[in-house]
Structure 1
């Protein structure tokens, strides 16, 4: 990755770790820093990405068609922003402890689609995700973000499974 050269100079690579509130995603970040630290060191860039899911907004939107006040929608959106900010701050602290500076980005939408979109938008060279370890039945109903990204992201995807 970072060791590749183009005309004798190291080329910058962009590595993105997608995090959510799960311990699995933070484990993936810690695993990256522990096991691939040299690969992401200068001149490479580490991006910590958080997708704010639409499902919180969708239920409020549906409720607002009835009698939900706009203040409820706004307060829920603000709460989601605070949660996202806290997740990104925690991730930045994990990186700082490892001596790595990371850029943080958050976007609103269906996580699997927003993550794959961010890969293209930010020209990501490697996407790293945590594996939630859901069973076959739950994956069938809820879906799997990591599975979707493995098949649809426009870059290599590393899925890190947290040991039991």
Structure 2
């Protein structure tokens, strides 16, 4: 029986746990060499000016030109996101998965990953789950993995 190509979306965040997710997925034989794999990350400009890159707490800027600071922060987030995507693609290729592409999404991570997965008719979404978020931050901003579980119809693998 011939293998069928699946569309797989791997959603990475900027915490550095992406390599662990990719290694776990590979070691448990979740992906097939013929899968079409998209590695995505989302840059949330609504949070960048308050939380800073990587969602770590950062003080608000004391300068008077908030628009310029916001644009600088957004460019930095985009560079950071592109670097995470590049690292993810490189890791996958080293593991033998060559049908890969990066996708930098802009906006709320849960909503943008959900929209992309539905628009592209993805067969499987793989994401990690953060352990280092406090109750307050998780309740205010929500968990991306929880959002995906509640809003996607395709199978979702959450790697802890």
TM-score, normalised on structure 2? Answer: 0.79
Per-residue deviation, 1:159: 0.4
What corresponds to 1:103 in structure 2?
Answer: 101
Q: Which residue of 1 aligns with 2:24?
A: 31
8 Å contact kept, 1:119–1:154: no
Q: Give the structure 2 partner of residue 155 of structure 1.
A: 154
The equivalent residue for 1:129 is: 127
Equivalent residue of 1:118, what SS?
Answer: helix
Q: Deviations over 1:110-160 (max 9, x none)?
A: 001111111111111000010112578343233111011011113110001
Consecutive unaligned residues of structure 2, counting only runs of 5 or more, are 53-59
Query: For 1:75 and 1:50, how far apart are their aligned partners in 2?
Result: 19
1: CA distance, partners of 2:85 / 2:116: 16
The equivalent residue for 2:39 is 48
In structure 2, the residue matched to 1:146 is 145
Larger radius of gyration between Structure 1 and Structure 2 = 1
Aligned length: 149
Unaligned residue ranges in structure 1 (runs of 5+): 1-7
In 2, Cα distance between the equivalents of 1:50 and 1:151?
19
After TM superposition, the structure 1 stretch with the greater mean CA deviation from structure 2, 22-31 or 93-102, is: 22-31
TM-score (ref. length: structure 1): 0.78
C-alpha separation in 1, matches of 2:8 and 2:28: 14
2:52 corresponds to 1:82: no
- The residue number in structure 2 matching 1:3 is none
The answer to which of 46-55 and 130-139 deviates more is 130-139
